[in-house]
Amino acid sequence: MRSVQLVAPRQLELHEMPETRHPRSDEVLVRLRAVGIFGTDMHWYSDGGIGSLRATYPQVLGHEPAGEIAAWGPGTGNLTAGQKVVIEPTITCGQCEFCCAGRHNNCVSVIFMSSPQMPGLFRETTSIRCPKE
Ligand SMILES: [Zn+2]
């Protein structure tokens, strides 16, 4: 699939990246339609990092996405093709004391999309875990 990748400070290029895998049981495949530019994206773009964290090139930015459901796993509930969704750009563990207390924003193992830990969403699709209802 096509993606916009940061290949050096202030240098974005259009490249191919591997296709998104089919969603697992608790995931949905989202066809991305819009992605905002967050402040952290600007730091990666302008400064090549945030504080002591340095970009790993190439890096896919984009961390405020919205799109439409294209496929889903059997454990995701009552969904429909084309349903509009937004994606929480943090991946949390779901097991630490904060996650278990419903305070996912304080997860001790949080991973941010659009960082060296995980590609961002300036791309065509992504598969992501569907929150439990
Ligand atoms: Zn957690």
The full set of domains in the chain, from first to last, is 2-129 (3.90.180.10)
CB-proximal residues (5 Å) to ion ligand 1: 92-93, 96, 99, 107
Per-residue exposure over 45-58, b if at least 16 CB sit within 10 Å of its own CB, e if not: beebeeeeeebeeb
The amino acid that residue 130 corresponds to is: C
The tens place of each residue's pLDDT in the chain, 133 residues long, gives 999 999 999 999 999 999 999 999 999 999 999 999 989 999 999 999 999 999 999 999 998 899 999 999 999 988 899 999 999 888 899 899 999 999 988 999 999 898 888 999 999 999 998 876 5
Computed from CA positions of residues 123, 105, 93, 58, in that sequence, does the dihedral angle turn out positive or negative?
A: positive
Query: According to the model, what pLDDT value does residue 89 have?
Result: 87
Q: How far apart are CA 22 and CA 112, in angstroms?
A: 21
Neighbours of 84 (CB within 10 A): 10
Residue 132 has what pLDDT?
A: 66
Q: How far is the CA of 67 from the centre of ligand 1 (A)?
A: 25
